[in-house]
Each structure stands twice: as structure tokens, then as C-alpha cells.
Amino acid sequence: MMHDILIKNGLIYDGSGGDAYHADVAVTDGIITAVGDAAAGKANRKIDADGAIVTPAWVDIHTHYDGQVTWDTDMNPSASHGVGTIVMGNCGVGFAPVAPDGQQALIELMEGVEDIPGTALYEGMPWGAWQTYPEYLDFLSGREYALNISSLVAHGAVRNYVMGERGRTNEAATEGDLAQMGDIVEEALRAGAVGFSTSRILGHRSIQGEPVPGTFANDAEVMVIAQALKRAGKGLFQIIPSSTLGPGRPEFSEHTSLEQEIDLISRVSKQSGRPATFTLFQIDDWSDKWREAIDRVKAGNADGAQVFPQVGSRPTGLVLSMQTYHNWMLKPSYQKLKSLPANERIKAMQNPDIKNAILREENDITGVPVGSMEFGICHAELNMANTFILKSDSTYEPRQEESVAALAGSTNQTPEAWLYDYLTEDENNMVIVFFTNYSDYNLDAVREMQMDDATVTGLSDAGAHVSLIFDAVNPTYQLSYWTRDRSRGATLPLAHVIHRATRKNAELFGFTDRGLIKPGMKADINVIDYPNLRLGDLRIAKDLPAGGIRILQDAKGYVATLINGVPTRLDDVDTGARPGRLIRS
């Protein structure tokens, strides 16, 4: 038999979580046609996988490429990290449906919540090409990508479309509003949305400081969505609970505890008959809450719910540098320098008089939107004991003595003065401020979350927070660090990590034709030089529309990535092929 591609002599981790085995894999017409002895025969192309592992391409279930997919086909950073399928539209923010004059509200929401430059969204997106959610999917279905894409319909867009400005206040939806929202969500699901997303967390705000519209949704509104899911008979419910990062706020939610929120999510799942997932972290003030949350989820699932807490694989942290964000951006003395070329600005800031002025001045917030990242970072009390130097090879599991607070103490400086000197020493210097999953200076809690079968792996936020967080590299990080490089505690089994990144996520979203190395499955495949797999160099790229910047970090060690049977990357280089397509539910 003549195959299109034959992957020879690889060690197969098939995505099921079972033991690895050596075998050949044959691909024809975008489908895996044979594995093992049945893969014998000739092929138009052979890929030598001797010494490499062969896995399904990763399924990333938490991304925010909703704008980028309208102007970009490369789909980086995800495409360079072996991702085969992404789910966008998370956290209740998206761009459909949109009224003819409604794009500004959606852009300001996405910019505030996900730190995607508004100018890039204004200039890069073809506004007017769609209004309804089915029209948005139809637009995307005519495009080609380096990986496969899918989309959740977002509560913020639906509420804004139905209620306008009322949807951005704490005004309850009317019966008419609820009926229209339910119809829109059902229509979106039937057209191909893979689920519905919402956010109830107070910290998610537009650039103008307005909370995400779903923040105000009462239980009745949430249950209307559950009924839409039930009528459609497909789709997943994704939510960020109001109490994800601490106690809920009763003025914005009926619930003030994570337990109450989990009970609501379980009720949505049971009444809709559909699975649900929610964001779960370990945080300082709630160091054991995540365990209690998982136990409550298991109790609900035993009673008929299908709820899966979504956990990350490393701490979530905010990156500070002189090229992106830092905590002196609103100081008057800095404002006088910000328009200078980077090298001149850095040199001026090294002047002791300017340094002293910047460190003692109050922020000038004139004209600064209260929901902007500049406002938030410059007014935040940064935890210097959880702030660390960031390098390309950082493990994300540093010791306490490596913190900025400890380093400053050893030089008899204040942490802020030490940080100032470090960041102004070189424009490429970066630090990271951890705010979740790093309460005890180790990742033991993350490992425990990852080992629990009740959870799923996600939270990469790929496509979002482009100049502040870059956890889109998680697929490579969790493979290289968690299964091979960790020295401060136990590692994770390689087959376990691969299963969670492939078949488990695919099954959660109903992608039954991918996530396994098995005949009949889509040929979304990674061939990985596992002993040498690593993260590449950190860099600042100015490649977004309107000159927007983002932090990128490539990967080293992907021998090949196949999407729908077509090599999109060979030896970590983009082949230029764009076989990825929109996946409808």
C-alpha cells in the first residue's frame, strides 16, 4: 500500500495514558491509516522517528485567539509548541454576536480582560464581516491555519448584543432578554460553537473598568444558558467563578464562596446534561481551598454532574520589563522619558537623581483608564517575596532565596530599588511576579492537581496577555520540566501528561476524532526529540497589527508536527503549510 507519510521507528505514546511501544505510523488523506505491522509499505514521504517519541498533537482548551484568527494564519505561539487544536472564546469574552455599532465595547472588554492591544483589534479585525455567531463561524471556516481552531460563544458578547449598555451594569435581564439570550446561545451551538463561556470574577474588567457583563448574571440567567445547552444537545459550559481568587463579592454575585459556585456549576451540568469546566488555582490566602473544591466536585459528579476543574501546569505570573509593563509607568519623571528610544530611556533612568525621583513620586493617573493594565500594575502592591528574575531557562520553581526580596536584603536595598536597578541595567531584563500556584516556594500542589483524575489541564491563555503572561508555552514546559527535568520533588509520568494534553481534553470537548494515535483518527501528530526538548529564547516581538508588541518563546525539539496529515513544522521550522481548519461542534 502507498501511504502519504510513514513515521518510522518511533516510541509511541498514543494519548490513551497506556504504556509506550515502538511502532511505525502510516498517514493517508489526513487520517492515521495504520499503526505497527499494518503500517508496512511504501510512502511518498518518510519521517525518521528513531530515538524520538510520537504523540498526538496537543489539544489546548483555554485560549483567546478570537481576534488573531481573523488576521493571522501562523497561530503562534501555539503552533510552535506542538498544538494541534485550540479552543478560543474562554472567560466570557469574544467577538460574536456583535451589533453594527457594538465592536468598541467588545474590544475594550477583550483589551481589559486579556491584555490584547485594542489598536491591534481595531485595525487587524475585519469589522462588518459578521454580526451573528453563525456568520462569525462561516467567516472563519473560509480561512486556513497552521492548526485547527474551535470556539466557545461568549457571555459578554451575547449579553452586550441583547442588552447593550444595560448588560454592562448590575441590572437583571428581563424575561425578554433571557429568552433572546437563550435563543442566541442555542443557535450558536447548533452552528458549531463547542460550548459557552462566562466569567463572574470581579478582576475581569474592560479597559474602562467595567466588569465583564456575565459578572452580573443571576442564577436564573445562568440556568437559561443551561437550558440552551440542553436543547442543542451539545457543547460545554466554561466559567471563571466569582471566588476563583478569593471570597466572592455579594454585590456582583449571588454567591460568596467557592463551594456555592461549584454547586451552581454542578446544577448547570446536571440540568443541561453537558460537561462543565472551571478555573482552579492554589493561592496564598486559600492554600487548601483547591483540595476542598475538588472534593466538592467529586461529590457533585457522583450525583450526576460532569464537572472538571481546569488547572495549570506552572505558576501564573506577571512579567515586568522596561519594554513591556513595569510599576513606574505612571510616575511623572518616567512619563517625561517614555517617548525616548529604549537605549536612551534606560540610560536616563540610570541617573541617580531620576531614580530617586521615580521611586518617591506618586502615580499620575490623568487620563489613564482605570481598567488598563498600566493602572492595575502601577497601583498593585507587588509581592517582592514572590518576584523572581526571569530567564529563558527559568524552571518556574525557584527557591525563596532567589526572590527579589531576598536579593535586595543581601545588598541592603529596598526591594523596589533593587528591582529598579535590575530592570534598568538592560532593556531585555525581565522579572516575573507569581500570584497563583506558588504559595510555598514549590510546585507540589500543582503536581497534586495534575495527578488528580478529576481535573483537566488548561489555562495556557494562549493569544491573551501578550505582553504580560506567556503561558502558551505550557505544552512544552509540562513535557520537559514535569516529566524529565524537575529536581525539587517528584516528576509526573510521561504517558499521564501526554494523555491529559491530548485525548482527555479532546474527549471533554467532544473531539472524538483526534487525540489518539489510532487508525481512523485525524493525523494531528507530534514527533519529538524528547531528550533534547526545551523552551527557546525569550524575546519581545513587534508583530501585531498597529505595531503591538508581545512576549514570545519558541520551542526546540519538535522533529515534526503534522496537522490533518500535513507537516506544518519540521525541525522547529514553519513549513508554510496551512492545513488547519475550523472545527464545529
**Mean pLDDT value of segment 517-522:** 98
Q: Is residue 244 very low, low, confident or very high in pLDDT (cuts 50, 70, 90)?
A: low
**Mean pLDDT value of segment 136-140:** 98
Helical segments of 303-372, H only = 332-335, 342-349, 352-360
Task: Name the β-bridge partners of 12.
Answer: 21, 54
Q: 486, 479, 491, 573: which is closest to 533 by C-alpha?
A: 479
Average pLDDT of the chain, as a whole number: 93
Q: E strands along 363-439, which residues? A: 387-390, 430-436
**Mean pLDDT value of segment 191-206:** 83
Higher pLDDT, 6 or 251: 6
Q: Is residue 453 very low, low, confident or very high in pLDDT (cuts 50, 70, 90)?
A: very high
SS3 state of residue 63? strand
Q: Is residue 117 very low, low, confident or very high in pLDDT (cuts 50, 70, 90)?
A: confident
CB environment 112-133: b (16+ within 10 A), e (fewer): bbbbbbbebbbebbebeebebb
Give the count of beta carbons closer than 10 Å to the beta carbon of residue 529. 17
Q: 468, 357, 351, 363: which is closest to 421 by C-alpha?
A: 351
Q: Give tens-digit pLDDT for 10-43.
A: 999 999 999 999 999 999 999 999 999 888 889 9
Residue 320: pLDDT above 90? yes
Residue 502: pLDDT above 60? yes
Task: Name the β-bridge partners of 462.
Answer: 63
Distance between CA atoms of residues 407 and 388, nearest Å: 9
Q: Is residue 451 very low, low, confident or very high in pLDDT (cuts 50, 70, 90)?
A: very high
SS3 state of residue 198? strand
8 Å CB contact between 85 and 184:
no
Q: 489, 487, 420, 496: which is closest to 452 by C-alpha?
A: 496
Task: Name the β-bridge partners of 52.
Answer: none
Amino acid at 201: I
Helical segments of 212-335, H only = 219-232, 258-272, 289-302, 332-335
**Mean pLDDT value of segment 268-288:** 90
Q: Is the dihedral of CA 471, 118, 543, 549 positive or negative?
A: negative
Q: Give tens-digit pLDDT for 60-87.
A: 999 999 999 999 999 999 999 999 999 9
Query: What is the reported pTM?
Result: 0.95
Grid coordinates representing 344 are: 536612551
Grid coordinates representing 196 are: 459557552
Q: Give tens-digit pLDDT for 359-385.
A: 999 999 998 888 788 888 998 889 999
**Mean pLDDT value of segment 250-255:** 51
In order of 236, 269, 340, the CA distances from 274 in angstroms are: 6, 5, 54
Q: What is the DSSP letter of 210?
A: P
Q: Is residue 400 very low, low, confident or very high in pLDDT (cuts 50, 70, 90)?
A: very high
Higher pLDDT, 570 or 114: 570
Residue 204: pLDDT above 60? no
SS3 state of residue 350? coil
Grid coordinates representing 116 are: 490584547
Residue 51: pLDDT above 70? yes
Q: What are phi and psi of 400, to 5 degrees?
A: -60, -35
Q: Give tens-digit pLDDT for 413-432.
A: 999 999 999 999 999 999 99
pLDDT number for residue 116:
83
In order of 10, 33, 562, the CA distances from 36 in angstroms are: 10, 10, 18
Residue 255: pLDDT above 70? no
**Mean pLDDT value of segment 113-127:** 87
Q: Is residue 358 very low, low, confident or very high in pLDDT (cuts 50, 70, 90)?
A: very high
Domains of the chain by start residue, with CATH: 58-317+440-480 (3.20.20.140), 322-436 (no CATH)
Residue 470: pLDDT above 50? yes
8 Å CB contact between 479 and 528:
yes
**Mean pLDDT value of segment 565-577:** 98
